């Protein structure tokens, strides 16, 4: 199976000299042909497999879109490389097999949301994918993350783009936002 690099090939039906092709193992679904799940459903969910550098709280509740699962594995690799053997990442709930309502969560229905426990280095690894729509974390923890990020030399402009803090927790601003119930973990929502 062959996948085209989207930034170089505009029409996957036309192959020309100079196009870069990536070969995939038989049985894998090529990203461009993966079905997109309808909102709140996860008809083609993939379970997050066990990994060397992460643990999964409830494997039966660890189903996501193929893209979400690929991104999670990529983020963990980036995090481990940057933190030189930092602590294992702990993944909480993602979605049920097939998606749908998932009490007590208001989200986690379509395989694009995941609860995560770790640090600023891990959040940066998520942000570097350019696929994160929101990261939800309690406002008080957001303050600590903000202050730590500022101490690492992040510019005021970048801090302003990323964080809701120091604005009110009711203000809809930034990628990193307050959501109650996220005191001991953060919640990541990937883009479509």
pLDDT tens digits, 112-145: 999 888 678 899 999 999 999 999 999 988 998 9
What is the structure's pLDDT at 34? Answer: 55
Mean pLDDT, rounded, of the chain: 84
What is the structure's pLDDT at 13? Answer: 66
Q: What is the DSSP string of the chain?
A: -EEE-TTT-S-TT---TT--EEE--TTPPPGGGSPPPPTTEETT-EEPPPBTTEEES-GGGBEE-HHHHHHHHHHHHHHHHHHTS-PPEEE---B-TEE---TT-SS-SSS-EEEEE--HHHHHHHHTTT-EEEEE--HHHHHHHHHHHHHTT--HHHHHHHB-TTS-TTS--SSEE--TT-SSSEEEEE--
Give the least confident one: 15-19, 135-139, 180-184. 15-19
């Amino acid at each position: 199976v062959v996948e085209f690099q989207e930034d170089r090939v505009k029409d996957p039906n036309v192959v020309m000299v100079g196009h870069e092709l990536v070969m995939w193992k038989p049985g894998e679904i090529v990203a461009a042909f993966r079905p997109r799940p309808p909102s709140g459903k996860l008809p083609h969910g993939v379970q997050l497999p066990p990994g060397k550098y992460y643990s999964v709280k409830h494997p039966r509740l660890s189903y996501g879109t193929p893209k979400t699962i690929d991104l999670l594995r990529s983020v963990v690799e980036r995090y481990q490389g940057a933190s030189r053997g930092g602590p294992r990442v702990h993944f909480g709930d993602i979605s049920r097999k097939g998606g749908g309502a998932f009490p007590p969560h208001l989200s986690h229905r379509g395989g694009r949301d995941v609860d995560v426990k770790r640090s600023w280095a891990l959040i940066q690894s998520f942000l570097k994918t350019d696929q994160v729509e929101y990261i939800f974390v309690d406002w008080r923890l957001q303050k600590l993350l903000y202050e730590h990020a500022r101490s690492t030399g992040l510019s005021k402009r970048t801090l302003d783009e990323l964080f809701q803090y120091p604005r009110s927790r009711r203000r809809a601003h930034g990628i990193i936002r307050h959501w109650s119930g996220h005191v001991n973990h953060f919640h990541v929502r990937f883009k479509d």
